């Protein structure tokens, strides 16, 4: 599946704006994903991570999807991101999604066995309950026979996220898009869920797009990382490259703002300011008003600087000499 | 894992349905309403087999008689047994209430779901029509429709049902707007469920509770409307008994036989009270905030 050059998913030119001439939320988002790989999309709130995920699923509200641009090649099939009929046919069957809020993402009036079964039956016809039981076992829910008839409110948050995963994976999709799947869970449950997702992925060779703002999660699970800022992927590379040799000032800032687990306690480094609203975007580098390295040249669109191993950063000032240079941050 | 997450689950291990039921049973006033309604429902259902007299058989020796051992509630202006007419009248009233609300639900809930879920032009058209109908007083609308359709119990039920529809469109639409924004609806779309299944299995069951409460309260209104229409001669046609038409004839004999008016008046009052109390009880029981 992960043949060289034939990616499982290849997204190109994904753009989204409010209205015909409105400011773009998303600008030229593009990435490739091989089967079995995990691409983590990271960035702070409001940078367009979730919007990207929802756009790939064809789940944008109609008012927004009118202004969606871009194509994706999925399993060799080239389709427009506005081809809602085709996307709906893929949804749940070949592309599945895991949501952020397990507490509210299950229908409160149906037994979980029926919900998982329904996800199976709407693409395969019958046999939903047997499949649901099998999936509950696979996602490690104790006493699956008994749980089959439970309602969502009878389960804990971690259990519900397992049910969501069971629902997403019941049709053996080739691609899973997970939008902050662990954010609403407490830390111990988080790592169990991540382990489960990684395990399921390994067994089935799925590609996974994981959206998160938690760099700990990224380090644990990612193959490659795409850093998003204000609707653009500003840096893209393998997880090693991004963590050990971040090149874009925004990535450097993100890394610097993770509290160190050892060493003397000090004030946390923060990136001053916040993500600009789409209406306040300027031409040129979108990060320049918060960037300590910004110079007048940053008012022009930044070039894509390519490093080895597919590591790309969108900045005039790369390559950055070292992390020490970034220490001047605060 | 299992030991940690099993413990809190055991505490939560209570089926959802029985929680609302337990709350309703603890609601004394609601239970009282349910009792009143139940009493009349049983009477209405048992009307054909109860040892009562024929409601349309006349006895010229008993015209406007006060209560006696033969005529427990007395007899009307042509000597028909009032008790029997009251019980058969209950059948007409309850039938009118339930059927007309059924019609209103059958029309209003689908329209409300369509308006709320699809939005845009569909919503605009349905909502403006709803508002136009809501601008007319309920009873006037029902009377106009019933007069247009022609006097009969069936047409009265139809008229009341149509007149009550806009309320259900409104409530349903509002509920759908909030439910459609829930994460589980998006996750249903994410598993590729077709729209009709999302509407049927995800939207409908989750918008039902407030609609159920409104339906109960509307049955009470519909019973009054049926009585009003029958009173005006637009509903149940003589000689078939109806509380409304009984009141209509009784008003001619208020001085001679006040009881003829009293019985149907009390019956309408009690049934309507029963449905209202039942509705209140249901509202409290189905409201997740009133735990």
Token pair of A206, please? 């799925």
Task: Tell me, yes or no, whether A133 lies in a domain.
Answer: yes
Residue B275 pLDDT > 70: yes
Question: Measuring CA to CA, which residue among B156, B179, B267, B175 is closest to residue B220?
Answer: B267
Least CB–CB distance from A142: residue in B2, B14, B197: B2
CA-to-CA dists, residue A75 to A10, A90, A283, B222, angstroms: 9, 11, 35, 59
Contacts of A151 in chain B (CB under 8 A): 15-16
Q: How many domains does chain A have?
A: 2
CB of A218 closer than 8 Å to CB of A40: yes
pLDDT (tens digit, 9 = 90+) per residue, B55-93? 888 888 878 888 888 788 888 888 888 899 999 999 999
pLDDT for A45 equals: 81
pLDDT for B165 equals: 96
Matching residue, tokens 């600008």: A27
Task: Tell me, yes or no, whether A236 lies in a domain.
Answer: no
Contacts of B6 in chain A (CB under 8 A): 142
Separation in Å, CA of A30 to nearest CA in chain B: 22
pLDDT for B6 equals: 42
Q: How far apart are CA B271 and CA B93, in angstroms?
A: 9
> b/e string for A12-40 if b means 16 or more Cβ within 10 A?
bebbbbeeeeeebbbbebbbbbbbbbbbb
Q: Does A105 touch chain B (CB under 8 A)?
A: yes
Task: Tell me, yes or no, whether B5 lies in a domain.
Answer: no
Separation in Å, CA of A159 to nearest CA in chain B: 8
Task: Tell me, yes or no, whether A308 lies in a domain.
Answer: yes
The ipTM, to two decimals, is 0.79
Q: Does B206 touch chain A (CB under 8 A)?
A: yes
- Please report, for the domain that includes residue A137, its CATH number: 3.40.50.300
Task: Tell me, yes or no, whether B8 lies in a domain.
Answer: no
Instruction: Identify the DSSP state of B160.
Output: H
More confident residue, B1 or B268: B268
Query: Count of A–B CB contacts within 8 Å?
Result: 90
Same domain, yes or no: A188 and A65: yes
DSSP letter for each residue of B215-243: HHHHHHHHHHHHHHHHHTTSSSPTTS--H
Same domain, yes or no: A182 and A265: no
Q: What are phi and psi of A3, to 5 degrees?
A: -65, 150
- Dihedral angle sign, alpha carbons of residues B180, B181, B185, B190: positive
pLDDT for B29 equals: 92
Question: Per DSSP, what are the bridge partners of residue A10?
Answer: A32, A73
Task: Tell me, yes or no, whether B236 lies in a domain.
Answer: yes
More confident residue, B238 or A235: A235
Residue B12 pLDDT > 80: no
Same domain, yes or no: A29 and A105: yes
CA angle A235, A1, A123 (to 5 degrees): 100
Least CB–CB distance from B9: residue in A62, A123, A156: A156
Task: Tell me, yes or no, whether B35 lies in a domain.
Answer: yes
Question: Cβ of A140 and B188 within 8 Å?
Answer: no
Question: Per DSSP, what are the bridge partners of residue A305?
Answer: A313
Q: How far apart are the first and last CA of chain B?
A: 31
Q: How many domains does chain B have?
A: 1
Task: Tell me, yes or no, whether B18 lies in a domain.
Answer: no
Question: Cβ of A88 and B192 within 8 Å?
Answer: yes
Q: Does A153 touch chain B (CB under 8 A)?
A: yes
Question: Measuring CA to CA, which residue among A170, A173, A174 is closest to residue A131?
Answer: A170
Those residues whose C-beta lies under 8 Å from the C-beta of residue A4, and which sit 6 or more positions away, are none
For B86-106, what is the mean pLDDT? Answer: 94
Task: Tell me, yes or no, whether A230 lies in a domain.
Answer: no
Which region among A262-271, B2-11, B247-256 has the lowest average model confidence (pLDDT)? B2-11
pLDDT for B166 equals: 95
Task: Indicate the SS3 state at residue B55.
Answer: coil
Task: Tell me, yes or no, whether A62 lies in a domain.
Answer: yes
Band of pLDDT at residue B238, cut at 50, 70 and 90: confident
- Please report, for the domain that includes residue B41, its CATH number: 1.10.3720.10
pLDDT (tens digit, 9 = 90+) per residue, A205-238? 899 999 998 888 898 889 999 999 988 899 999 9
Contacts of B18 in chain A (CB under 8 A): none
pLDDT for A277 equals: 78
Task: Tell me, yes or no, whether A123 lies in a domain.
Answer: yes
Q: How far apart are CA A34 and CA A310, in angstroms?
A: 14
Among A11-20, A272-281, B150-159, top mean pLDDT goes to B150-159
For A52-64, what is the mean pLDDT? Answer: 85
Report B:79-98 residues touching A (Cβ under 8 A).
Answer: none
Q: Which domain holds residue A298?
A: 252-329
Task: Tell me, yes or no, whether A105 lies in a domain.
Answer: yes
Q: Which domain holds residue B58?
A: 27-286
Residue B185 pLDDT > 50: yes
Residue A316 pLDDT > 90: no
What Rg, from alpha-carbon coordinates, does chain B have?
23
CA-to-CA dists, residue B82 to A25, A156, B53, B54, B245, angstroms: 75, 61, 9, 10, 13
Residue B26: in which H helix or E strand, if any? helix B16-26
Task: Tell me, yes or no, whether A233 lies in a domain.
Answer: no
Cβ neighbours around A260 below 10 Å, total: 10
pLDDT for B1 equals: 39
Task: Tell me, yes or no, whether B21 lies in a domain.
Answer: no
Contacts of A119 in chain B (CB under 8 A): 191-193
Q: How far apart are CA A315 and CA A319, in angstroms?
A: 9
Best residue of B187, B196, B212 to probe chain A, by most A CBs closer than 10 Å: B187
Is B288 exposed, middle or buried, given 0-12, 13-18 or 19+ CB atoms closer than 10 A?
A: exposed
Question: Cβ of A108 and B16 within 8 Å?
Answer: yes
Q: How far apart are CA A94 and CA A101, in angstroms?
A: 22
Q: How far apart are CA A8 and CA A1, in angstroms?
A: 7
Instruction: Identify the DSSP state of B67.
Output: S
For A112-117, what is the mean pLDDT? Answer: 91
Contacts of A142 in chain B (CB under 8 A): 1-2, 5-6
pLDDT for B140 equals: 93
pLDDT for A272 equals: 80
Task: Tell me, yes or no, whether B164 lies in a domain.
Answer: yes
Token pair of A298, please? 């940053």
Same domain, yes or no: A81 and A204: yes
Separation in Å, CA of A292 to nearest CA in chain B: 39
List the A24-33 sheet strands across, edge first. A24-33, A9-17, A68-74, A77-80
Same domain, yes or no: A128 and A273: no
Question: Measuring CA to CA, which residue among A157, A205, A161 is closest to residue A179?
Answer: A161
Least CB–CB distance from A122: residue in B13, B183, B197: B197
Sort strands A38-42 and A207-212 into parallel, antiparallel or unpaired: parallel
Question: Measuring CA to CA, which residue among A271, A258, A273 is closest to residue A216?
Answer: A258
Token pair of A183, please? 């954010």
For A34-60, what is the mean pLDDT? Answer: 88
Q: How far apart are CA A228 and CA A46, in angstroms?
A: 10
Question: Per DSSP, what are the bridge partners of residue A74?
Answer: A9, A77
pLDDT for A320 equals: 67
Matching residue, tokens 């039938």: B95
CB of A126 closer than 8 Å to CB of A198: no
């Amino acid at each position: 599946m992960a043949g060289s050059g034939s990616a499982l998913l290849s997204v190109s030119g994904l753009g989204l704006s409010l209205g015909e001439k409105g400011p773009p939320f998303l600008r030229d988002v593009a990435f490739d994903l091989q089967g079995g790989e995990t691409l983590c999309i990271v960035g702070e709130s409001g940078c367009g991570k979730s919007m990207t995920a929802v756009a790939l699923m064809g789940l944008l509200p109609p008012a927004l999807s009118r202004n969606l641009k871009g194509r994706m090649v999925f399993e060799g099939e080239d389709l427009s991101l506005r081809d809602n009929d085709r996307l709906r046919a893929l949804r749940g069957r070949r592309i599945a999604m895991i949501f952020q809020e397990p507490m509210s993402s299950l229908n409160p009036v149906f037994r979980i066995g029926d919900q998982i079964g329904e996800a199976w039956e709407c693409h395969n016809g019958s046999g939903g309950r047997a499949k649901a039981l099998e999936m509950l076992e696979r996602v490690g829910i104790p006493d699956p026979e008994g749980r089959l008839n439970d309602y969502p409110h009878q389960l804990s948050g971690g259990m519900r996220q397992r049910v969501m995963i069971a629902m997403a994976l019941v049709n053996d999709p080739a691609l899973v898009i997970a939008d902050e799947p662990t954010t609403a869970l407490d830390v111990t449950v988080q790592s169990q869920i991540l382990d489960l997702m990684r395990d399921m992925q390994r067994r089935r060779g799925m590609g996974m797009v994981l959206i998160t703002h938690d760099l700990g999660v990224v380090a644990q699970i990612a193959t490659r990382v795409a850093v998003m800022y204000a609707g653009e992927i500003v840096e893209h590379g393998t997880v090693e490259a991004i963590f050990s040799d971040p090149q874009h000032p925004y990535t450097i800032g993100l890394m610097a703002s993770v509290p160190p687990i050892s060493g003397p306690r000090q004030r946390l480094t923060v990136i001053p300011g916040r993500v600009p609203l789409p209406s306040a975007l300027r031409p040129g580098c979108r990060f320049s008003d918060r960037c300590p390295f910004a110079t007048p040249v940053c008012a022009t669109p930044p070039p894509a600087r390519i490093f080895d191993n597919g590591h790309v950063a969108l900045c005039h000032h790369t390559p950055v000499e070292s992390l020490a240079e970034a220490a001047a941050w605060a | 894992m299992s030991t940690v997450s099993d413990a809190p689950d055991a505490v939560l291990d209570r089926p959802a349905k029985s929680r609302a039921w337990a709350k309703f049973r603890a609601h004394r006033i609601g239970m009282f309403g349910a009792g009143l309604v139940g009493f009349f429902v049983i009477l209405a259902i048992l009307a054909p087999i109860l040892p009562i007299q024929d409601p349309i058989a006349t006895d010229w020796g008993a015209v406007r008689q006060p209560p006696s051992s033969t005529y427990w509630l007395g007899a009307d202006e042509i000597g028909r047994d009032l008790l029997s007419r009251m019980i058969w009248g209950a059948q007409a009233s309850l039938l009118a209430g339930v059927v007309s609300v059924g019609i209103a639900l059958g029309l209003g809930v689908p329209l409300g779901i369509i308006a709320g879920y699809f939005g845009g032009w569909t919503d605009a058209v349905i909502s403006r029509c709803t508002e136009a109908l809501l601008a007319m007083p309920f009873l006037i609308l029902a009377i106009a429709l019933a007069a247009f359709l022609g006097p009969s119990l069936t047409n009265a039920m139809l008229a009341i049902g149509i007149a009550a529809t806009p309320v259900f469109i409104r409530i349903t639409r509002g509920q759908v707007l909030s439910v459609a924004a829930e994460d589980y609806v998006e996750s249903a779309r994410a598993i590729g469920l077709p729209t009709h299944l999302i509407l049927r299995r995800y939207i409908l069951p989750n918008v039902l509770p407030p609609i159920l409460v409104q339906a109960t309260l509307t049955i009470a209104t519909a019973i009054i409307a049926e009585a009003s229409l029958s009173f005006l001669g637009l509903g149940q046609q003589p000689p078939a008994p109806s509380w409304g038409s009984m009141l209509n004839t009784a008003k001619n004999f208020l001085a001679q036989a006040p009881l003829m008016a009293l019985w149907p008046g009390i019956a309408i009052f009690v049934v309507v009270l029963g449905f209202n109390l039942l509705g209140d009880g249901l509202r409290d029981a189905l409201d997740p905030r009133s735990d």
